[in-house]
Amino acid sequence: MQTILVTDEPEFWSFLSEKTEIVDAVDYLSNIDYTNGYHYRVINLCNSHEYQSVGYYVSLLAEARGHKIIPSVIAIQDVMNSSLAKTLSDALEAEIDHELHGLKSEEFVLSVYFGKNVAAKYDVLAKKLHQLLPLPMFRVYFKHARHWHIKQIKPVNIESVLPQHLEFMKEAACRYFEKKRFHNHRPKARYYDLAILHNPNESTPPSDKDALKKFMGAGHELGIDVSLIEKSDFKNLAEYDGLFIRETTSIDHHTYSFARKAYAEHMMVIDDPVSILKCCNKVYLAELTRRHNIPSPKTWILNQQNLDKMNKVLSYPCVLKKPDSAFSQGVIKVEDYSALTKAIKPFFNSSDLIIAQEFLPTDYDWRIGIFDNKPIFACKYYMAAGHWQIYNWKEDEKHEDFVGDFDTVHVEDVPKEVIATALKATKLIGDGLYGVDLKQVGQQCYVIEVNDNPNLDSGVEDQALGDEMYASIMKVFLQRMQRLHGHE
């Protein structure tokens, strides 16, 4: 994807001519070369982004052409909205108070130029504001009344850059456009940029390093530029066309913030925020399967007030689950009511509701991978040695008994009722990437849970399809990115 700087003051920005192509705003709006379907990243540095100004139309038409635009029309409208100041104040309350603590005055103004401030001590605050408000340049007005809060936000153009800040602003612009993602002009065959969010330090990531490499290779074969990104790359997210989250997701976590931002930017995103919200809460999933008559173990929803009452209908042993548990953590088996009341107390520290589920002993759980409403892999995950779960968290992660064995099975060899039940469950969530855990007891198949962020590891889930598994997933990304940009 080629980056261009669009402005109504091309002479002023000429100092960036060696770092990026500079295009006159009128030329961008009228020249057929910029409407021919080629995929550009557009940095809009027009003097005004007011409604129906030239700068406004640059962002508006860039979106219509399927170009990646900074700032987006949404970002422009956000700045015009008076409620944005309060929203940002609430989101950054602790950081603002920490950074501005000790100031003697009751007002403070912070100028942010391409994510930087002239005073290095405010760099962290400037960076966080820039992450939440992807405008190239803006000014934030703070006021102190019991605590510091944002009073107003105003975009900055070249005419409103303070004279003493001009050289610094130019240096910040140079650093901004020097970053690899900007000056790396790629072959025209590559129209789309896909970011894969991962955490290289995660102990049990949903995809190992080899799998990530295979995703990147499969994407490149299809003409997609695939980049690995981390938590610190949040501010650059809008520069991509799609986001693939390969880090364990959670609601109160940066993975959800990434998904939500990608969704707001009209990017193709897996896992999408709706799927994360639904799949990360087992209370929701229990109610969903019950309402739609999807076979699942008997499930009860417990709170601190109904324990005695629910004991009359519970069957033992049963499994207690925190609503947001993952990788079998926050899941325990209890043999009787006494054990339940003792074990459940810590659970209530983080949730008002707890799931209790009928215990169905089996040698293995099915995991059916579903993407785009189609099965893409099938695995039997066996219980850890001497344990009732796939993971035995009482063992060290490096111990051979920490996790059970597995068998990867061709989808066509899986019992039809297993596939049908898995598909029935995921269609209630969406058309994203899911891993459905099921138990087969006799002829009956039970949904245990639906995961929004299933494991896709080299040598495990890909054993049946090999590299085709990665290619099939990347093909869906390509199709959906094409659809979003009207290129089908």
pLDDT (0 to 100) of residue 354: 84
Neighbours of 164 (CB within 10 A): 8
Kindly tell me the burial class for residue 11, based on how many C-beta atoms sit within 10 Å of its own C-beta (0-12, 13-18, 19 or more): exposed
Q: What does the pLDDT average to over 223-246?
A: 91
* Res 36: pLDDT: 67
Using alpha carbons, select from 259, 238, 174, 232 the residue that is nearest to residue 41. Answer: 238
Partners of 441 in the β-ladder: 444
Tokens matching residue 31: 């020249």
Q: Indicate the range of 55-59, 337-341, 350-354, 443-447 predicted with least confidence.
A: 350-354
- Please tell me the distance from the alpha carbon of residue 457 to that of residue 198, in angstroms, as a whole number: 13
**Backbone torsions φ then ψ of 434, nearest 5 degrees:** -135, 155
CATH 3.30.470 fits 81-180, yes or no: yes
Please provide residue 33's backbone torsions phi and psi, each rounded to the nearest 5 degrees. Answer: -60, -25
Q: Which one, of 112, 125, 223, 126, lies nearest residue 168 by Cα?
A: 112
pLDDT score, position 186: 40
The per-residue pLDDT for range 403-444, each reduced to its tens digit, is 678 899 999 999 999 999 999 999 999 999 999 999 998 888
Separation of alpha carbons 415 and 389, rounded Å: 22
Contact, 433 vs 473, CB < 8 A?
Answer: yes
Tell me the pLDDT band of 327, cut-offs 50, 70 and 90.
low
> Any idea where the domains of the chain sit in the sequence?
2-76, 81-180, 186-276+479-484, 298-358, 361-451
- Average predicted confidence (pLDDT) for the chain: 86
Asked whether the domain spanning 298-358 has the same topology as the one spanning 186-276+479-484, the reply is no
Q: In what order do the strands lie in the sheet with 318-321?
A: 299-302, 354-358, 318-321, 331-334
Instruction: Say which CATH superfamily domain 298-358 falls into.
Output: ATP-grasp fold, A domain (3.30.1490.20)
Assess whether pLDDT exceeds 50 at residue 221: yes
Residue 240 CB neighbours (<10 A): 28
Q: With respect to CATH, is domain 186-276+479-484 assigned 3.40.50.20?
A: yes
Per-residue pLDDT at 112 exceeds 80 = yes
329 or 79: which leads in pLDDT: 79
Q: Is the pLDDT of residue 188 over 50?
A: no
Average pLDDT of 142-161?
90
Confidence band, pLDDT 50/70/90 cuts, at residue 236 = confident
Task: Return d(Cα 444, Cα 99) in angstroms, integer.
Answer: 59
CATH class of this structure's domain 361-451: alpha beta
Q: Which of 29-38, 276-285, 315-324, 391-400 has the lowest mean pLDDT?
A: 391-400
Alpha helices in 314-428 (DSSP H): 337-344, 416-426
Beta strands in 268-351 (DSSP E): 268-270, 299-302, 318-321, 331-334
